[in-house]
Structures are given as structure tokens and as C-alpha cells.
Structure 1
Amino acid sequence: MRSREQYAPGAASGAEVRKEGEKWTLVLVRDLRHPPAKVWKALTEPEHLREWAPFDSDRNLGTVGTAKLSTVGAPKPLVSETRVKRADAPKVLEYSWGEQDIRWELEPQGGGTRLTLWHNIERGFIAWGAAGWHICFDVLDRFLAGESIGRIVGGEAMKFDGWQRLTSEYAKQFGVETPGWPSSAPKR
């Protein structure tokens, strides 16, 4: 079992960017060794989201309707009202997070799930978004395997070994500049 202190993100992989005019969408794919029903619970149930996601929800996201998402690790509290637009368990989940659209697709694959995330993000932050979701997916996979290391998001994610490398790798893959580092992020 790997501990939080031993965690380091792997190489940038499974991501692409789709551009429609000025709208940039990050598409991140991860094959998980867990069945869709188990992954669905992790994407929708508040107690599961608290283990890996960059936000908390005030209710289960598995049904259409409004919810409040509270960003974790933000410099100041950031709560946004969201509308779950589609919740077809355990296949498709769509909602907004702030001004950004989020879409999850779960495809059965052997005994596991191919999880695909679509997240529209401003061009200047898309490499950070990819790195952040990459780390969230790593933590999610460990949580689903019963090896929780606790969520790693926001400024805390930026302190992990490999964050800058991962962000730079995604920026290169996407053909964008590596974002400037906030003063709170350590230089390594």
C-alpha cells in the first residue's frame, strides 16, 4: 500500500484538447479497474467526492437538479450553485462548476471502467486543469481500491513532486505555454 508521502504523479497521458472557436475543452481518459457502478458512486456521492474531488457537494449529484459545489483548496471560499443537467447512472453525468461545463462518461471495459472527463477550461489554465485532474484521478483510483491517500487539490497539489513536470508535459502536448507559477507554489 502506497502512502500519501510516497505518491508522485506518473507521466502526462490520456489527455487531449478540443477547440471550438474560443472555447477550449480538456478531454481526459483514464481506465480504472473498478466497475461503472462503483465509479458512479465516487462521482456522485458527497462522502466519496470528499475523498478525491476538487470540490464538495451539498447533495448527491446522481439526480437532475440544483446543488452547491464548494471548491476545496481555493485561497478564499468559493461556492457555486450548479445544475445537474444529466444523470444517467452509471453512464453519463453532466453539470456545471462555476462557469465551466463538466461531463463524465463511464464505459464498461472488462471488469473495469473507461472514465472520460470533458471539462471546458480557459486556454491559459488548461495545462493546470489537466495536471489537477490527473492527480485527482490517481487519488480516485487508490480510493476505489481501498487505499485512500486523501484528496490532493488546489495549492496542496502544486506542492507535490511532479506537479510542475506534469503541467509542463501537458502544456507541451497541448501546444500551449506552461502557466506561470503562483508565488505560493514551491520552486523545485
Structure 2
Amino acid sequence: MTAASTEARSVVVERDVPFPPEKIWRALTQPHLIEEWLMKNDFAPVVDHGFSLRNDWGAVACRVLAVEPHTTLSYTWDALGLESVVTWTLTPTSTGTLLRMEQKGFRPDQRQAFGGAQAGWPKFFDNLEQVLARTE
């Protein structure tokens, strides 16, 4: 077996968004806002807090790994045999924020989950931008 065949893969989405990090941070960490762009949840921005994201197809079990307000948020994302880590990075720019999301930990045999994440995260980003545009 070569190293490449056992290597975990990542899905990365990066977007320049015309909003300050503080506003994006609220949408990433306040449960009622998370529900609007992602899923129903019982999130709290506290390291080691266990929470779930719930949707029609089931639930994602999560645990907060890192919280650096307005900069970095990281949590585990375990669903349907996938054990991964989602990390959000917010970098201020002259026009707003460079928002980066990386979901890391897809095994080579998890093509369906990897494809689903590749298709799903850009849609979640679209939803997130809509929430940001209409919230104060």
C-alpha cells in the first residue's frame, strides 16, 4: 500500500465575504443563526462542548476543539462512519473577511462522504452569506 492510498483527504472552501470577522463569528457560533445556514444544533463556543447538528437525514456528533474568537473555530464532525474535523479560519481583509473552512479526515474509501462534502459546503456557504446579509 502506498502512502497516498491511506492518506486522509480534505475539503476546503475559501471565500472573500464583505462582512467583518465579528459578524461572521456570530453566525458561526450562535445556535439560532447556525440553524439558519447549517442545521438545528445545541452548539456552544466552549472547548470540549459536545453538540449535535440535526437534519432530516440524521445527526452529526460534534465536539468543540478550539475557540479563538473572531479568528478560529474547530470541531469534530462524526457522521455515518466519517470521523473528521471542521476548522473555520477568519482573516480580516480590506473589503471584509477571507473565510476558510477545511473539513479534514476523509479516508480514501469514503468517496461518497467526500463528494457530499464537496457539494454541500459551497451550498452552506451560500446560506451563510444570505444570513449575514440579512442580520444586523
- Please name the residue that 1:59 is paired with: 43
CA distance in 2, matches of 1:124, 1:70: 19
CA distance in 1, matches of 2:5, 2:12: 13
Between the aligned residues of both structures, percent identity stands at: 31
CA distance in 2, matches of 1:27, 1:79: 19
Q: Shift of the alpha carbon at 1:58?
A: 1.1
2:92 pairs with 1:108: yes
2:79 pairs with 1:94: no
> Do the aligned residues in 2 keep the contact of 1:63 with 1:87 (CA within 8 Å)?
yes
Which of 72, 78, 84 is the equivalent residue of 2:59? 78
Q: Shift of the alpha carbon at 1:115?
A: 0.7
CA distance in 2, matches of 1:31, 1:144: 13
- Please name the residue that 1:117 is paired with: 101
TM-score after normalising by structure 1: 0.60
When structure 1 is superposed on structure 2, of 20-29 and 31-40 the one drifting more is: 20-29
Structure with the largest fraction of strand: 2
Q: Shift of the alpha carbon at 1:79?
A: 5.0
- Please state whether the residue corresponding to 1:59 is helix, strand or coil: coil
TM-score after normalising by structure 2: 0.81
Which of 16, 24, 31 is the equivalent residue of 2:9? 24
Where in structure 2 are there 5+ consecutive unaligned residues?
none
The size of the alignment, in residue pairs, is 124
Amino acid of the structure 2 residue aligned with 1:116: R
Where in structure 1 are there 5+ consecutive unaligned residues?
1-18, 148-188
| RMSD across aligned positions (CA) | 2.0
